[in-house]
Structure 1
Amino acid sequence: MSAPPEEFYSEERWQNWLDRIRDEEIDPEDEDSARLLLNLQDDVAIAVAKIVTAYDDDEIGEEEALEELADIRETVLGEVAFEDEEKAMLIDGVQTSLVCVFYAAEEYLAGGPAEEAAVEEYVVEASKAEEADDLDSALGLVAAAGTRIIDGEELDIAVTEDIEYGLVTEWVNGLDSLQSAMSDPEVVEEEDEADD
């Protein structure tokens, strides 16, 4: 019997991030605050990347990988109670970005990378679907882009410059974290303060 794999992510870890955001003055215009929120998002994306990588390396099976994803998803996308409305909105933004990270990973585990188009083409088509108020299709298309990122294709984030801000740009922001996580799955330390 092989040793059980390390825990990919824990509820305690998520709560530690939330507590830190509760305790700090958060100003999204401030670089340190923006970095804290991005680190929170990247940390979850790294956990997702590790699950997918463990699956690709035959360390865990599809069913276990999907269960691990479901556990993290339940923790991270659950309702967060914040008295500070602005902080609640910022956390909601992070959760929105991460929705597509989970969806892309599930799609990848179930069927491998999408084959019909290049990663940017999926994003452009998703923005058209969003404009047409077809959000299910938009999410599916961005998730398809995510499966290609998991498979090693690079997403040029500049593709969002011509897209009106909305759910697709939020989801692509999550895929950007996933892309970083796939190329460098180093854990973001909760107490890691970057030296300026």
Structure 2
Amino acid sequence: MFYSKERLANWLERINSEEIDIETGKGIDVFDRMLEDYIIACRNLMRSIKAREITKKEAIALINESEKVLEKSFDFGDELKGELFEITKEQMKIVLEALKLVIEGKVSKKSFDKLLNEAFKKEHEGDIEGAFESVVKIAAKVLAGEEFPEDIEIPDEDLIVVGWLDAVDAINTINVLSEIDKSEIEDDVE
């Protein structure tokens, strides 16, 4: 199983037991860790395909199965937790859709700038679905190993796209950390 109900249930338990304070930022990192765990699961699935442990077709079947896990609603009895969970779930969906594009070999050749401008333009026009798809394309490029530029222009506006970019940032971070881990392992071997 790629991302099981049990794996999500683990995170739900952690969120439930976490005390969250938005003012101090206390406990909020549980949502970041949940997203990172999901990205790692996606990367592991990609690695399994590369190592020929599973076929692309089998991987897509696993992904489709896991989508059901993310479609469920959960009640934490806490409005803030519920809100943060929904935001994180949305970011997980971006990663999931990006993973599909990578597996299907449909990673966009457009530049990050172009895709980002498309996403903002679509959001301004009220095409939220189109904006989502543009962010997914950005996420797919990063998941496939391209580095998201640090100096990219992001408007200082309260836009949905800006929030979605946290998913892209999280993928980028995991990529960088795994490269550091890899080089440390290689150093140990030498």
Using structure 1 for the length normalisation, give the TM-score.
Answer: 0.80
Give the gaps of 5 or more residues in structure 2.
180-190
Question: 1:23-102 maps to which residues of 2 (within 5 A)?
Answer: 23-102=17-96
Given the alignment, which residue of 112, 115, 118 partners 1:125? Answer: 118
Is 1:151 aligned with 2:149? no
Shift in CA distance, 30/39, structure 1 to aligned 2, threshold 3 Å = farther
Shift in CA distance, 44/83, structure 1 to aligned 2, threshold 3 Å = same
Runs of 4+ in 1 over 6 A off after TM superposition: none
For residues 8 and 116 of structure 2, the distance between their equivalents in structure 1, rounded to whole angstroms, comes to 29
Shift in CA distance, 157/75, structure 1 to aligned 2, threshold 3 Å = farther
Greater RCO between the two (CA within 8 Å, min separation 6)?
Answer: 1
**Equivalent pairs, count:** 179
Deviations 1:146-168 (A, max 9, x none): 22112211113554641523321
Q: What displacement does 1:32 show?
A: 4.2
Given the alignment, which residue of 89, 94, 97 partners 1:103? Answer: 97
Shift in CA distance, 160/56, structure 1 to aligned 2, threshold 3 Å = farther
For residues 86 and 20 of structure 1, the distance between their equivalents in structure 2, rounded to whole angstroms, comes to 15
Shift in CA distance, 160/41, structure 1 to aligned 2, threshold 3 Å = farther
- Percent identity over the alignment? 25
Aligned-residue RMSD, C-alpha = 2.2
Give the gaps of 5 or more residues in structure 1.
1-6, 187-196
For residues 40 and 127 of structure 1, the distance between their equivalents in structure 2, rounded to whole angstroms, comes to 27
Q: What displacement does 1:142 show?
A: 1.2
Given the alignment, which residue of 169, 185, 194 partners 2:162? Answer: 169
Given the alignment, which residue of 17, 22, 36 partners 2:11? Answer: 17
Deviations 1:30-75 (A, max 9, x none): 3441222110111111111211232233332111111222233321
Q: What displacement does 1:185 show?
A: 5.4
